[in-house]
Amino acid sequence: MQKIHVSLGKRSYPITIASGLFQDPTAFLPLKMGNKAMLVTNQTLAPIYLDVIKDSLKQLKIEVDQIILPDGEQYKTLSVMEQVFTALLKKSHGRDTTLIALGGGVIGDLTGFAASCYQRGVRFIQVPTTLLSQVDSSVGGKTAVNHLLGKNMIGTFYQPMSVVIDINCLKTLPARELSSGLAEVIKYGIIVDSAFFIWLEEHLDELLSVDANAMEYCIRRCCEIKTKIISLDETEQGIRALLNLGHTYGHAIEVEMGYGNWLHGEAVAAGIIMASQTAYRFGQLNNQDVSRIKKLIARAGLPVTGPKNMTPESYLPHLMRDKKVLSGELRLILPTAIGQSEIRMGLDHKQIISAIADCCY
């Protein structure tokens, strides 16, 4: 069992990583005997994991209610989140309740946002079931729902009380979802850890076959990197923005194509290529590093070009609505070498569009 401590003063919490955690009541020990909880999951995961986790919680004498939401990025909305509030109120949950987010990034983000709002804030636990959520979205306290005009535009920074990562979940993960998670994994190597990028080049096949030892190391390393960055910049005033490599472009794809048509990791993968190509055009990144990034992303089963029915010009309105835009100035996260990245602003929009065009076909 691996334990990582997220150090945020009074908002600190543990990340627990192991196989078989859902059958281990001690994994949920931040909860105490007599506590009340609302377990939030989706229609796909409920038949697989709901009863197992409820049994573990009942061994701790936790009173558990549940709500099962529809599955998919298109349901990450305010109207679906209201269903969580309705369930909490109907079951008379008060400020002493705990929400448990059992699912991937959609469930985790939506449940965390609901927890931050319900009765002005209640506790919640992240129980991520996808690789993407285990290495990224469950850690760090970003919560949100989508808007038709922008991804994750309505949300809060609100930390969980713990994160429980059961690696066994990945055994039932579809191959496309596994690849989607690898986009976020590769991101960490590019932005701050060249040694981890090299490790990924050497061990990607093991990750694709869900080798337990390789996957445990991979998840732990990603969580360590993100935890360190979050401890320095919890609310993304500076260095935390580096974690958004590829996301500005990727969110444009998700919104333009319709939520759920491209998985988040697929869009981010194409976005990482666009960011790399942008960096190359501005003389920040050499062609050899661009090629290594593109090769690793392709090996992971991820797209290295954007959607064929999106023109390069169609990206710009979405880029200008990005949360990193300040005073009307676009800021992009660009790699300067494998293992190094920076926040750049003041870039010529025509050059950015040209770089996107390089990645369109």
Residue 204 CA to residue 76 CA, distance in Å, equals 31
Instruction: State yes or no: is 203 an active-site residue.
Output: no
Residue 30's nearest CA partner among 65, 6, 51, 66 is 6
Instruction: State yes or no: is 264 an active-site residue.
Output: yes
Instruction: State yes or no: is 213 an active-site residue.
Output: no
Instruction: State yes or no: is 142 an active-site residue.
Output: yes
Residue 54's nearest CA partner among 72, 69, 73, 67 is 67
Query: Catalytic pick from 93, 123, 247, 323?
Result: 247
Residue 103 CA to residue 187 CA, distance in Å, equals 22
**Tokens read off for 60:** 């701790």
Query: Catalytic pick from 54, 187, 221, 240?
Result: 240
Query: Catalytic pick from 76, 123, 221, 251?
Result: 251
Instruction: State yes or no: is 236 an active-site residue.
Output: yes
Instruction: State yes or no: is 247 an active-site residue.
Output: yes
Query: Catalytic pick from 10, 120, 308, 350?
Result: 120
Instruction: State yes or no: is 251 an active-site residue.
Output: yes
Query: Catalytic pick from 35, 146, 152, 244?
Result: 244
Query: Catalytic pick from 54, 123, 142, 331?
Result: 142
Exposure class string for 193-204: b at 16+ Cβ within 10 A, else e: beebbebbeebb
Query: Catalytic pick from 226, 294, 323, 331?
Result: 226
Query: Catalytic pick from 187, 221, 264, 323?
Result: 264
Residue 263's nearest CA partner among 131, 360, 85 is 131
Instruction: State yes or no: is 206 an active-site residue.
Output: no
Instruction: State yes or no: is 240 an active-site residue.
Output: yes
Query: Catalytic pick from 177, 236, 254, 266?
Result: 236
Query: Catalytic pick from 35, 42, 93, 184?
Result: 184
Instruction: State yes or no: is 177 an active-site residue.
Output: no
Active centre residues (catalytic): 120, 142, 184, 226, 236, 240, 244, 247, 251, 264
